[in-house]
Amino acid sequence: MSVKTHNKVKKKMHDLKFIRENPSTFDDAMARRGLGSQSADILRMDESRRAIQTELQALQQERNETSKQIGVIKSQGGDAQEIMDAVSKIKGRMGELEEEERTIASALNQHLAGLPNIMFDDVPNGADEGENVELHKWGTPKQDQVPEHFEIGEALGLMDFDTAAKMSGARFVILKGALARLERALAQFFLDTHTGDHDYTEVNPPLLVRDNALFGTSQLPKFAEDLFPAGDAHYLIPTSEVPLTNMVAEQIVDMEELPYRYTAFTPCFRSEAGSAGRDTRGMIRQHQFYKVEMVSITKPEDSEAEHERMRECAETILKELDLPFKTVTLCSGDTGFGAKKTYDLEVWLPGQQRYREISSCSNCGDFQARRMNARTRPKGEKQTQFVHTLNGSGVAVGRALIAVLENYYDPTDGGVYVPEVLKPYMGGLEKITKV
RNA sequence: GGACAGAUGGCAGAGUGGUUGAAUGCACCGGUCUUGAAAACCGGCAAGGGUGCAAGCCCUUCCAGGGUUCGAAUCCCUGUCUGUCCGCCA
């Protein structure tokens, strides 16, 4: 399906000045992403663009000056026909140059838009998730094998994949009764914690966004196939990172107002186009799932500290739920397109006897801010700077539900205890049992 | 869905074809005054880019994209957004 485009090609993306001045640094950074040298191509395009621009500007200057003369002559009642013809002649060449400039600028911008963020030096090198580096572990993983979450849920009669498949196909689920409520309880608990204890402001954002918003957070143009188009103007959000971060798009915010901290509980929609065959059973990987998201907008110098803080906000949730987890720093090969550095929180799933991702916290630096032109200005200063943006799950609700089912499972009767912190949200219910 | 009206600098708000990058007010910065502050007064104050050692010079930008013209904030077309009214609707 084709979706209308609202992109302006004025976006800044990577800083050309930086690439011009540090071509090898830039190439090294792209090499860590598994890409070949980029700077030579970029600089060649940039140079030729500037050459065209210089020539064009000389002609524009000539046109402007001559046109002003015409104005003067005419206002004095003179005849300006001769110079008017002369200006007309310049226009042919100007048109050509304008066309060339447009072509090369758009090629350059498209190229830049497809290049990932430059990672921090302390991001470990590695090919894939196997080389992520453990930061720390918390809690004691249950070594006893328990059923997987979908076995538990189905046995309880509260989790139904077959009926969901009839109406929606694969990768959907129906939760009922206490499990439906458990999902709502988790979300509520997450939101209350982030708004009450972590200084986040609750936001209820649009779930449908246009392509320019997705360009800003860098899902587009490269990852269109992961998205669900909705109608001819919108996409369903793959994460509320998109609307929350775009709240500062095209804005100049006073520096003393920062940081902004936003949290939202929303459904997320992902086509999972590249995941055929992976996690096909159960709720791990769905086309639609709930997530509580945290987004921070900070001054440039504060983003690294904010990143640690955000990671701790997410970890707090798992600690409060008493779910064992480990935190890893993603290696270069596993770090997302827009991130300078990412921490993943992996929760212990006794049904799988392994840790699975339940939160991902990324510092994007100014990468997204450049793409959405989100700036800040220190009080009294003229010069604006790009803000830094961070996003993190706090945490994925569906996966948290899975973790609760498997970690709080009672093998004696197939029931599931309600975690202490969730009881108030479950009407005091102690244990979920078969209906 | 139909009808109309808008979109101009950080904000508000003039400007309908010719030195208008844009009056004015607010905000902001510097100064005078004051023991200090406020007020008042004086001055400054858009951004992005090209070029140059630099001072500077130049280009672009008045929602976006196309067009008319020697010349466009101003005229035309398309799109987006906002407001108002009508219809429909949870």
pLDDT given for residue A122 in this prediction:
95
Here the tokens at position A404 are 């609760």
A209: preceding bond cis by omega (within 30 degrees):
no
Residue A17 CB in 7 A reach of strand B: yes
Residues A370, A254: Cα–Cα separation, whole Å: 17
Distance in Å from B14's C1' to A387's CA comes to 34
Residues A50, A63: Cα–Cα separation, whole Å: 20
pLDDT given for residue A378 in this prediction:
79
Distance in Å from B90's C1' to A160's CA comes to 28
pLDDT given for residue A98 in this prediction:
86
pLDDT given for residue A339 in this prediction:
96
Asked whether the beta carbons of A386 and A301 are under 8 A apart, the reply is no
Residue A63 CB in 7 A reach of strand B: yes
Distance in Å from B50's C1' to A53's CA comes to 7
How many helices, marked H, and strands, marked E, lie in chain A?
12, 19
Asked whether the beta carbons of A384 and A376 are under 8 A apart, the reply is yes
Residue A69 CB in 7 A reach of strand B: no
Shortest CA distance to A342 belongs to which of A391, A291, A275? A391
What pTM does this model have? Answer: 0.91
Residue A251 CB in 7 A reach of strand B: no
Please state, in angstroms and as integers, the Cα–Cα distance from residue A222 to each residue in A40, A59, A112, A218, A372, following that order: 22, 37, 11, 8, 16
Residue A8 CB in 7 A reach of strand B: yes
pLDDT given for residue A159 in this prediction:
97
Asked whether the beta carbons of A345 and A315 are under 8 A apart, the reply is yes
Q: Where are the alpha helices (DSSP H) in A123-173?
A: 149-156, 161-168
Residue A57 CB in 7 A reach of strand B: yes
ipTM: 0.81
Residues A365, A388: Cα–Cα separation, whole Å: 5
Strand partners, A274: none
Residues A291, A239: Cα–Cα separation, whole Å: 8
Nucleotides of chain B within 7 Å of a protein C-beta?
10, 18-19, 28-30, 45-51, 58-60, 64-66, 70-71, 80-81
Residue A252 CB in 7 A reach of strand B: yes
Residue A208 CB in 7 A reach of strand B: no
Strand partners, A247: none
Distance in Å from B62's C1' to A84's CA comes to 27
Residue A70 CB in 7 A reach of strand B: yes
pLDDT given for residue A5 in this prediction:
55
Express the helix, strand and coil content of chain A in percent, nearest 5 each. 45, 20, 35
pLDDT given for residue A2 in this prediction:
43
**pLDDT 10s per residue in chain A (435 long)?**
345 555 443 456 788 888 888 899 999 999 999 999 999 999 999 899 888 888 888 898 888 888 888 887 877 777 778 888 888 888 888 888 888 888 888 888 888 888 999 999 999 999 999 999 999 999 999 999 999 999 999 999 999 999 999 999 999 999 999 999 999 999 999 999 999 999 999 999 999 888 888 988 999 888 889 999 887 778 999 999 999 999 988 888 888 888 999 999 999 999 988 888 889 899 999 999 999 999 999 999 999 999 999 999 999 999 999 999 999 999 999 999 999 999 999 999 999 999 999 999 999 999 999 888 888 887 767 778 889 999 999 999 999 999 999 999 999 999 999 999 999 999 999 999 997
pLDDT given for residue A395 in this prediction:
93
Dihedral angle of Cα A170, A176, A182, A188, to the nearest 10 degrees = 80
Asked whether the beta carbons of A264 and A205 are under 8 A apart, the reply is yes
The DSSP secondary-structure symbol of A379 reads: T
**A402-428: string of b/e by CB count within 10 Å (b at 16+)?**
bbbbbbbbeeeeebbbbbebbeebbee
Residues 6+ apart with CB under 8 A from A49: A101, A104, A105, A108
Distance in Å from B72's C1' to A71's CA comes to 14
Distance in Å from B86's C1' to A206's CA comes to 27
Here the tokens at position A170 are 């694969």
Distance in Å from B64's C1' to A375's CA comes to 21
- Which residues in 96-115 of chain A line strand B, with CB less than 7 A from it? 102
Here the tokens at position A303 are 């983003």
Residue A64 CB in 7 A reach of strand B: yes
Helix (H, G, I), strand (E, B) or coil at A394: strand
Residue A6 CB in 7 A reach of strand B: yes
Helix axes A81-113, A39-75, angle to 10 degrees: 160
Residue A136 CB in 7 A reach of strand B: no
pLDDT given for residue A12 in this prediction:
62
Handedness of CA A312, A371, A357, A419 (dihedral sign): positive
Residues A363, A30: Cα–Cα separation, whole Å: 18
Residue A88 CB in 7 A reach of strand B: yes
Q: Where are the alpha helices (DSSP H) in A175-233?
A: 177-196, 211-216
**A333-355: string of b/e by CB count within 10 Å (b at 16+)?**
bbbbbbbbbbbbbbbbbbbbeeb
Helix (H, G, I), strand (E, B) or coil at A251: coil
Q: What are phi and psi of A394, to 5 degrees?
A: -140, 55
Residues A311, A330: Cα–Cα separation, whole Å: 13
